[in-house]
Amino acid sequence: MGSSGLIVIDTQTQPLLSLVNAEVRYQGNVALHDINLTIQKGEKIALIGRSGSGKSTLLKLIYETLPKITALVPQDEGLVESLSVYHNVYMGRLRAHSWFYNLLNLIRPFKSRVEEVNAILEKVELQDKCFDVVKQLSGGQRQRTAVARSLYQGGELLLADEPVSAVDELQAGRLLQMLSTDFSTTLFALHDTQLALSHCTRVIGLHRGRIVLDEPSEHLSAADLTRLYCD
């Protein structure tokens, strides 16, 4: 992925991130055009738009810009299917330990780390799945495992790409609320416009790689957002 445009980063004072006329290309094709976006600390943002509108690409650009302070829940979950739920969640903090410590923990998990991970798994109602292999999980359980990994990782900014698409409405709302509480700044890519309006204070709409909507959620209705899914 190639990108251009001025990127201003300031993690000490506002704003958290500014993109000015940013552009992203894949193999010569423009995926994002003229992106002007400022993210303030403490914002709860919904990113909406049709599949292929550029949501995942924008999240990736932001993550590559601010990796040290960012937790990411990718759309494909990014899990290692042959490993347990425990080890997948633990990977959120691999950088906090040496490779030798991580290797020992892979072979024989440390009690203190298991207790930490179990506390996170309890939040997402997966405490009984700690040492189950990921490939045995349902779609909703896999998604909650990815959410648990981001909670264990922590950080100032959370980027989550369709983090609740595989769970029911009640659970989706609870998970989004949990993530919004645990991370000071959040950016959720969502298809569910009602969730976007009810759990975010700002909505950004993408269409064909361009930002075509950027408004406080209190100024918008579900009908306003639905137009983004029409040609």
Domains of the chain and any CATH numbers: 2-229 (3.40.50.300)
Residues of the chain with pLDDT > 70, as a percent, come to 94
Average pLDDT over residues 40-48: 96
CA angle at residue 131 from 127 to 135, to 5 degrees? Answer: 105
pLDDT of 142 reads 96
Q: Is the pLDDT of residue 10 over 90?
A: no
Report the chain's mean pLDDT, rounded to a whole number: 92
Q: What is the pLDDT of residues 181-212, one digit of tens each?
A: 999 999 999 999 999 999 999 999 999 999 99
Average pLDDT over residues 34-53: 95
120's tokens: 């996170």
Check: pTM over 0.85? Answer yes or no: yes
